[in-house]
């Protein structure tokens, strides 16, 4: 793991969850940015890639799986930790198939998040 604190991008359409998760990420000592939609995230990508992506599955317009597929089609490889309300839903299965490193169910505990991201960063 690099000595610089990891940069984590959080994509979730729920404002409260987004803000809280970002705060939590910072409390781990990570750098974190939050986006309200897949589109917003994609527009910010050119400015710099994160070390890890925390991605909510259920979002209007473009959901988590669709974003994963867009990234794959552009050849962009970022470790993805998917956050979902239902771990066994069809959407969750598709997320796994699309290469998600881990699946976290809401509500998640801080240790779970830390562990998942650290594992994802290790590759």
Partner 1 sequence: MVAIADAQGAIQLLNHHCEEITGHAPAQVVQRAIWSVLPAPEGAARMREAFLRAAAGEPAEDDEGDWLCKDGSRLAVRWSYSGIRDAGGKVTGVVVAGVDVLAARRIEAELAESMGRYHAILDTAVDGIITINERGAVASFNRAAERIFGYRAAEVIGRNVSMLMPAPYRESHDGYLDNYRRTGRKKIIGIGREVEGLRKDGTRFPLDLAVGEVVSGGQRLFTGIVRDITDRKDAEREARRRMDELAHVTRIHSMGELASGLAHEINQPLTAIINYARACLRMIGAGTADQELLHGSMEQIARQGERAVEVIRRLRKFIEKGEVEKQPCDLVASLSEALGLLDHELTVNQVRVYLDARPSIPEVHIDRVQIEQVLVNLVRNAVEAMVSGPSASRELRLQLIPDQQDAPGVRVSVHDSGPGFGQNKPERLFDPFFTTKADGLGQGLAICRRIVEAHDGRIWAENGQPGGAVFHFWLPLPDAAAAPGSVPGKKT
Where does this chain bind partner 1 (CB under 8 A)? Answer: 13-14, 16-17, 19-21, 23-24, 26-28, 58-61, 63, 85-86, 91, 106-110
Of 48 and 109, which has the nearer Cβ to partner 1? Answer: 109
Of 14 and 119, which has the nearer Cβ to partner 1? Answer: 14
DSSP E strands: which ranges in 44-93? 52-56, 80-84
DSSP E strands: which ranges in 1-123? 7-11, 31-35, 52-56, 80-84, 102-105
Tokens of 92: 């969750």
Shortest Å distance, C-beta 46 to partner 1: 24
Shortest Å distance, C-beta 81 to partner 1: 14
Neighbours of 79 (CB within 10 A): 21
């Amino acid at each position: 793991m690099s000595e610089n604190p990891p940069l984590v991008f959080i994509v979730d359409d729920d404002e409260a969850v987004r803000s809280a998760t970002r705060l939590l990420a910072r409390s781990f000592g990570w750098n974190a940015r939050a986006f309200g939609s897949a589109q917003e995230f994609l527009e910010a990508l050119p400015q710099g890639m994160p070390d890890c992506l925390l991605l909510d599955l259920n979002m209007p317009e473009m959901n988590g799986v669709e974003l994963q597929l867009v990234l794959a089609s552009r050849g962009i490889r970022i470790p993805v930790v998917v956050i979902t309300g239902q771990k066994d839903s069809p959407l969750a299965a598709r997320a796994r198939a699309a290469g998600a490193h881990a699946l976290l169910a809401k509500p998640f505990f801080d240790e779970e998040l830390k562990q998942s991201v650290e594992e994802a960063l290790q590759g």
